[in-house]
Amino acid sequence: MASGFDIRFQYVLVGWEGSASDATVLFSALNRGDNLAVPDGKFYLMDAGFLTPYRGVRYHLREFEECPPMNSQELFNLRHSSLRTTIEQVFGVVKNRFSILRMSHGYSLTTQRDIVIACCTLHNHIVMRSAGDPMLETISTGTNSRIDPPLTSTRNIETVPRWKRDTWHSFRDSIAEQMWNDYEH
């Protein structure tokens, strides 16, 4: 699932039995006929092994309340945390709005897929049509209980091949430096 800052789902792809890594889902989404588009200069925030935050560097939003970022790594982590917070809050709102998503049940994989798609579609409709939705106010006021998601993924970074990890870290470094240059000017 992909969501934007407008709290709506931009893309939903479901159907794997069990869990699938973000990389597997993204690869599938990019190679399907329904064309998930990645706009130029934009990126999707994913799990370990891709655009991960810098370890040992301030990360959580609360850590930046008193003191702004001091270098490119801190700025990257601040923006990473902000993005993670947004998507985690969107998922939290949808799970709170539709309790069926929190329950284990014996539905077929096809029915489970249809339930997720229906809930995401209904969520988008509610967001577009319902000003003053109390569930969305928790996001705008920051009262959602999931303000700072965990820094680490459930997937171990060591399971990603070293060459791939180094490539993504170099890519992250170049993004962080560009962000910092833009931030300073």
Q: Cβ(74)–Cβ(96) under 8 Å?
A: no
Q: What would the pLDDT profile of 115-141 be if each residue is shown by its tens digit? A: 999 999 999 999 888 877 777 766 654
Say what the pLDDT of residue 26 is. 74
Tokens of 129: 């049509």
Say what the pLDDT of residue 106 is. 84
Average pLDDT, the chain: 79
Least confident range of 37-41, 70-74, 161-165 = 161-165
- Residue 124 identity: N
- Pick 155 or 138 by higher pLDDT: 138
For 54-75, b/e burial (b = at least 16 CB within 10 A) is beebbbbbebbeeeebeebbbb
Say what the pLDDT of residue 151 is. 38
* Mean pLDDT, range 154-181, rounded to an integer: 75
Say what the pLDDT of residue 161 is. 66
Q: In angstroms, rounded to a whole number, what is the distance separating the alpha carbons of residues 46 and 23?
A: 8
Q: In angstroms, rounded to a whole number, what is the distance separating the alpha carbons of residues 69 and 67?
A: 7
Q: What would the pLDDT profile of 16-55 be if each residue is shown by its tens digit? A: 777 777 677 777 877 887 767 777 777 777 655 567 889 8
- Record the pTM: 0.68
* Mean pLDDT, range 46-70, rounded to an integer: 84
Say what the pLDDT of residue 135 is. 74
